[in-house]
Chain A
Amino acid sequence: MTFFLGCAGTETGTMKRVRLLLAAAMAFCCATGFAARAQEEGPAFVPKIPDRQSWSFAGPFGVYDTAQLQRGYKIYREVCANCHSMEDMHFRNLADPGGPEFTEGQVKALAAEFKVTDGPDDNGKMFKRPGRPADPFPRPFPNEQTAKLANGGAVPPDMSVLAKARSYEPYDWFPADIGYALWSMLTQYQTQGPDYISALLQGFKKPPPGFKIEPGQNYNEVFAAGNGIIAMPPPLQDGVVQYPKGPDGKPVVPETVEQYSKDVAAFLMWVAEPKLDYRKQLGLEVMIYLLAAAGLMYFVKKKVWAKVHA
């Protein structure tokens, strides 16, 4: 079992020291790099590297937090879905095991909140009807051109696999980059996507002095792809989505941008990788089986070869 324990997500003392060392070295390199660049072309945009967060679904035994996915769905429904499609998801998936696990009745009600285009009917006309569990999530815009028109020329990306399509590389210097890649592989660090999404949603800050922003554009300290300029306005504000209340009438988790960001990032990870819980559970069974097989084969091999080595 040490095979797994050695790779669990807990941070040991050595790990911390290694990371501190890497951070210090990076700070030095950045500082010297900055100085050189500042002289050439004024302040350049250096994206903030998202912080590594702890997720319930990280590590070899990680599973999704059902309550968090339900909260995340609420944010998608009330905020994201206005602009972002989620084509590969169906309403029925909301009831799947290892997901938000809404009941079938809840899923029917949630699907009916959306209007879906169906048809053509007997008169040859397309018509709108309430969504059903078997429907895919409808697109907010009929086509790319409409989406562009409504969003200042940018197309809001589909969210089906968004959490797997986003990543970042914290180090660009030898040998920290290699060390980081190997360390991620060894510790199963797989959550760059949700880390990034959560950081991006919290990354709408006041632009630094001298940073030019056109009307309809927004500054985001994490958005490397646009050099800090993003078309999406800050989608979340404190209190904008109502969370389930506890017995005392207060929300169970805080209704803050930070909490919203984490919840919706977790939800999007589930959307991108809906079979994660089952994958890791099956993986454990496969690993135990293979370890046992390896042990048996080892002794069989020893026994068979004993005659030859004698």
Chain B
Amino acid sequence: MSGQSTYVPKNALAKWFEARLPIGGLMHSSFIAYPTPRNLNYMWTFGGILSFMLGAQILTGIVLAMHYTPESSLAFNSVEHIMRDVNGGWLLRYLHLNGASLFFAAAYIHTARGLYYGSYKSPREVLWLLGIIILLLMMATAFMGYVLPWGQMSFWGATVITNLFSAIPIVGDTIVTYLWGGYAVGNPTLNRFYSLHYLLPFVIAGVVALHVWALHVAGQNNPTGIDVKSSKDTVPFTPYATVKDALGLVVFLLVYCWFVFYEPNILGDADNYIQANPLKTPPHIVPEWYFLPFYAILRSMPDIFFIPAKLAGVMAMFGAILMLALVPWLDTSRVRSARFRPLYRPFFWVLILVCIGLGYIGAKEVTPGRIVVGQILTAYYYVHFLVILPLLGLIETPNDMPNSISESVLGGNATAVPAGAHAAPERKG
């Protein structure tokens, strides 16, 4: 799929270099000649957007690290020092702070796009798993980053989340002690979180490289979910995908800058502008918005037989991500795209609504009514992956599919492929 490299070095130096390390050919075949399906819609621009956001977070983060002090009595004021006395410091911090939110928004859209169009199905399972690993790494990085300003929500969020690991039988307490570097969240915790917050983005970059590599082996999925069959189905990455990605990125940047310049604190919690105080618990501890659905699942779990509620909550929370990882094997349908799956399509949107509902429950204070709603939504989340998804593939009759990508774009008469030649093998039920 990545195709034969057609790269021809233009001058003697490039020729000399190419003979010794063919990186020019790699770049050329990956980002210029690389054949992309001609029917990709704007949902496919989020991969490029995410790469950009990772780069932006690393760049702003590196400069912020030059001015930040990872010491529990100085951290809070060092952030204010960045905001006031460092040239452009307020801009760097607001870019980094809102960048995390926008990064997650893009990642969730990217994941949802994969779920809708069946991008996880053979031969893209490893590509999908690498994506889930990136998501997990992003969560760890964002969580530790949120602790660094050492505000009230930083401190108490860290206390609540690190405490969860104590629910793990036998080794739990030891893990928590290692996370804390002591017997409570404190200066050692801040130091190790800072170190890891600096390290993990580069780990993410490494896994992203694998993710892109796997993508270029399997080739991109597309809105029809039909495999690329001839060169008619594709266009070269440059200029076609490049220019489309660029447009998507600029529109995304408009939203990003809207938050950065006009409402930089609206996605955060006011309590995090109060310096951490280990003696004073805030009335309402909530994580950042991108963790809310998981937080809701965590809080929804009751005692289940011999499993205490806390352990059940931790298992359910990590299980929620495990469900995503298992999707390639839970989905029994051979049709990739929801476009041709009349039953899967509504269930997909219900799942999205359930995730938003979980986010809402996670944001609110606990009441008996909300606990019940949270439990119903959590149960539905699991039912979707463990029951609905496997069953749908068995009972669903897919809609008629076009023979090829080019036929779906240009209409039946534009393709040389005989009608029906390729549609049949993909149908089922």
Cβ–Cβ contact B250 & A301, under 8 A: no
What is the CB-to-nearest-CB distance from B369 to chain A, in angstroms, rounded to a whole number?
A: 10
Cβ–Cβ contact A174 & B360, under 8 A: yes
Q: Which among A35-43, A108-116, A231-239, A289-297 touches the partner chain?
A: A289-297
Cβ–Cβ contact B90 & A294, under 8 A: no
Q: A161-B80, A188-B262, A279-B261 are in contact. Are A297 and B247 (CB under 8 A)?
A: yes
Q: Mark B175-207, 1 if CB is under 8 A from A, else 0.
A: 000000000000000000000000000000000
In-complex Cβ contact of A294 among B244, B254, B260 (8 A) = B254
* B266 interface hit (Cβ, 8 Å): yes
Q: A279-B90, A294-B247 are in contact. Are A287 and B254 (CB under 8 A)?
A: yes
* B135 interface hit (Cβ, 8 Å): no
Instruction: Specify which chain A residues have a CB less than 8 angstroms from the CB of B265 in the assembled complex.
Output: 164, 190
Cβ–Cβ contact B243 & A300, under 8 A: yes
- Give the residue name and chain of the A residue nearest to B258 (CB): A287
> For the complex, what is the distance from the CA of A275 to the CA of B247, rounded to whole Å?
31
Instruction: Specify which chain B residues have a CB less than 8 angstroms from the CB of A162 in the assembled complex.
Output: 273
> For the complex, what is the distance from the CA of A19 to the CA of B289, rounded to whole Å?
25
Instruction: Specify which chain B residues have a CB less than 8 angstroms from the CB of A290 in the assembled complex.
Output: 250, 253-254, 257
* A282 interface hit (Cβ, 8 Å): yes
Q: A192-B270, A279-B90, A287-B257 are in contact. Are A304 and B84 (CB under 8 A)?
A: no
Cβ–Cβ contact B257 & A305, under 8 A: no
Query: A interface, by DSSP: helix, strand, loop or mixed?
Result: helix
What is the CB-to-nearest-CB distance from B19 to chain A, in angstroms, rounded to a whole number?
A: 33
A-B contact count, CB below 8 Å?
95
Cβ–Cβ contact B243 & A304, under 8 A: yes
* B77 interface hit (Cβ, 8 Å): yes
Instruction: Specify which chain B residues have a CB less than 8 angstroms from the CB of A138 in the assembled complex.
Output: none
> For the complex, what is the distance from the CA of A33 to the CA of B81, rounded to whole Å?
45
* B419 interface hit (Cβ, 8 Å): no
> For the complex, what is the distance from the CA of A301 to the CA of B246, rounded to whole Å?
9
Cβ–Cβ contact A283 & B257, under 8 A: yes
- Give the residue name and chain of the A residue nearest to B359 (CB): A178
* A228 interface hit (Cβ, 8 Å): no
The 8 residue pairs across chains A and B that have the minimum distance between CB atoms: A283-B261, A165-B273, A167-B270, A297-B247, A88-B80, A161-B273, A164-B273, A294-B250
Q: A164-B273, A165-B274, A308-B38 are in contact. Are A301 and B90 (CB under 8 A)?
A: no
* B239 interface hit (Cβ, 8 Å): yes
Interface residues of B in 221-262 (CB under 8 A from A): 235, 239-240, 243-244, 246-247, 250-251, 253-254, 257-258, 260-262
Q: Mark A177-196, 1 if CB is under 8 A from B, else 0.
A: 11000001100101011000
Instruction: Specify which chain B residues have a CB less than 8 angstroms from the CB of A309 in the assembled complex.
Output: 409
Cβ–Cβ contact B240 & A305, under 8 A: yes
Report the count of interface residues on B (CB-CB < 8 A). Answer: 38
What is the CB-to-nearest-CB distance from A59 to chain B, in angstroms, rounded to a whole number?
A: 9
> For the complex, what is the distance from the CA of A87 to the CA of B85, rounded to whole Å?
13
> For the complex, what is the distance from the CA of A18 to the CA of B232, rounded to whole Å?
53
Instruction: Specify which chain A residues have a CB less than 8 angstroms from the CB of B271 in the assembled complex.
Output: 165
* B83 interface hit (Cβ, 8 Å): yes
> For the complex, what is the distance from the CA of A143 to the CA of B95, rounded to whole Å?
35
In-complex Cβ contact of A304 among B94, B239, B266 (8 A) = B239
Instruction: Specify which chain B residues have a CB less than 8 angstroms from the CB of A291 in the assembled complex.
Output: 254
Instruction: Specify which chain A residues have a CB less than 8 angstroms from the CB of B364 in the assembled complex.
Output: 172, 177
Cβ–Cβ contact A164 & B270, under 8 A: yes
* A156 interface hit (Cβ, 8 Å): no
Cβ–Cβ contact B254 & A280, under 8 A: no
> For the complex, what is the distance from the CA of A294 to the CA of B244, rounded to whole Å?
11
Q: A193-B270, A280-B262 are in contact. Are A294 and B251 (CB under 8 A)?
A: yes
* A93 interface hit (Cβ, 8 Å): yes
Report the count of interface residues on A (CB-CB < 8 A). Answer: 46
Cβ–Cβ contact B270 & A88, under 8 A: no
> For the complex, what is the distance from the CA of A197 to the CA of B364, rounded to whole Å?
24
Cβ–Cβ contact B239 & A185, under 8 A: no
> For the complex, what is the distance from the CA of A297 to the CA of B42, rounded to whole Å?
14
Instruction: Specify which chain B residues have a CB less than 8 angstroms from the CB of A305 in the assembled complex.
Output: 240, 243-244
Instruction: Specify which chain A residues have a CB less than 8 angstroms from the CB of B246 in the assembled complex.
Output: 297, 300-301
* B263 interface hit (Cβ, 8 Å): yes
> For the complex, what is the distance from the CA of A294 to the CA of B247, rounded to whole Å?
6
Instruction: Specify which chain A residues have a CB less than 8 angstroms from the CB of B262 in the assembled complex.
Output: 60, 188, 190, 280, 283
Instruction: Specify which chain B residues have a CB less than 8 angstroms from the CB of A148 in the assembled complex.
Output: none
* A166 interface hit (Cβ, 8 Å): yes
- Give the residue name and chain of the A residue nearest to B273 (CB): A165
Cβ–Cβ contact B244 & A280, under 8 A: no
In-complex Cβ contact of B244 among A166, A192, A225, A301 (8 A) = A301
Q: Mark A183-213, 1 if CB is under 8 A from B, else 0.
A: 0110010101100000000000000000000
Interface residues of A in 2-43 (CB under 8 A from B): none
- Give the residue name and chain of the A residue nearest to B365 (CB): A172
* B368 interface hit (Cβ, 8 Å): no
Q: Mark B268-284, 1 if CB is under 8 A from A, else 0.
A: 00110111000000010
Q: List 5 A-B contacts (CB under 8 A).
A: A174-B360, A284-B261, A290-B254, A291-B254, A294-B247
Q: A164-B273, A297-B243 are in contact. Are A188 and B263 (CB under 8 A)?
A: yes
Cβ–Cβ contact B261 & A301, under 8 A: no
Q: A166-B270, A294-B247 are in contact. Are A185 and B261 (CB under 8 A)?
A: no
Instruction: Specify which chain B residues have a CB less than 8 angstroms from the CB of A157 in the assembled complex.
Output: 274
* A133 interface hit (Cβ, 8 Å): no
Q: Which of B244, B250, B274, B275 is packed against the most chain A CB atoms within 10 Å?
A: B250
Instruction: Specify which chain B residues have a CB less than 8 angstroms from the CB of A93 in the assembled complex.
Output: 84
- Give the residue name and chain of the B residue nearest to A224 (CB): B283
Cβ–Cβ contact A287 & B270, under 8 A: no
Instruction: Specify which chain A residues have a CB less than 8 angstroms from the CB of B91 in the assembled complex.
Output: 279, 282
Cβ–Cβ contact B90 & A178, under 8 A: no
> For the complex, what is the distance from the CA of A87 to the CA of B76, rounded to whole Å?
12
Q: A283-B261, A290-B257, A291-B254 are in contact. Are A160 and B270 (CB under 8 A)?
A: no
Instruction: Specify which chain B residues have a CB less than 8 angstroms from the CB of A88 in the assembled complex.
Output: 77, 80-81, 84
Cβ–Cβ contact B244 & A178, under 8 A: no
